[in-house]
């Protein structure tokens, strides 16, 4: 899908949901829809500002909120930015996280590395690492609908 089509789609989604298409908002949408890489709010701001110098960073944050609620974007894991930490194991990097209580464990039984060679060639990129996390509701939380934290 061309980015021009994406852009129209996004603008239509905004209107269909009762959001107005203002000049700054359209520019922010355009920047994100056409970007080849994940962007931080400040990066979006800097790019958008080149066309609309009076734009405010706050508007960027608020437009991101709306794009997210419309599911037009999602958040990308950049290792250096995430500040939630967990003990690592040498072997496995595959995590299973309960979104309700936070309980987390490493899991085995899903081999993804076997496909890396073929993907490297197909997409012309040398794969050097990966992040793989599954989210779900653990047994304990499924049985207790109320908020519950693990012992620590």
Catalog residues that contact DNA under the rule CB under 7 A: 15, 18-25, 40-42, 52, 54-59, 61-63, 83
Q: Which of 2, 18, 91, 139 binds its own copies (CB under 8 A)?
A: 139
Q: Which is nearer to DNA, 64 or 141 (CB)?
A: 64
Quote the tokens at residue 149.
């934290």
Cβ atoms 47, 88 nearer than 8 A: no
Name the one range near its own copies by CB under 8 A: 11-19, 51-59, 121-129. 121-129
Minimum CB separation from DNA for residue 61, in Å? Answer: 5
Quote the tokens at residue 142.
């499924």
Tell whether residue 58 is a contact of its own copies (CB under 8 A): no
Q: Which of 17, 99, 117, 144 binds its own copies (CB under 8 A)?
A: 99
If phi over 0 gives left and psi between -120 and 50 gives alpha, with beta otherwise, what is residue 28?
alpha
Could you tell me the CA-to-CA distances from 64 to 1, 74, 83 in Å, in that order? 21, 10, 21
Tell whether residue 123 is a contact of its own copies (CB under 8 A): yes
Q: Taking the CB of residue 56, how many other CB atoms lie within 10 A of it?
A: 13
């Amino acid at each position: 899908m061309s980015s021009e089509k994406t852009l129209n789609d996004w603008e239509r989604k905004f209107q269909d949901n009762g959001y107005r298409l203002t000049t700054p908002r359209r520019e922010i949408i355009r920047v994100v829809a056409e970007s080849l890489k994940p962007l931080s709010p400040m990066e979006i701001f800097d790019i958008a500002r080149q066309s609309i110098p009076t734009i405010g960073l706050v508007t960027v944050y608020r437009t991101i909120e709306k794009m997210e609620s419309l599911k037009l974007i999602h958040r990308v894991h950049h290792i250096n930015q995430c500040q939630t930490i967990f003990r690592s194991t040498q072997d496995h990097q595959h995590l299973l996280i309960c979104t309700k209580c936070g309980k987390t464990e490493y899991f085995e039984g899903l081999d993804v590395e076997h496909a890396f060679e073929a993907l490297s060639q197909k997409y012309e990129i040398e794969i050097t690492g990966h992040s793989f996390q599954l989210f779900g509701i653990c047994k304990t939380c499924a049985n207790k609908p109320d908020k519950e934290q693990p012992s620590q």
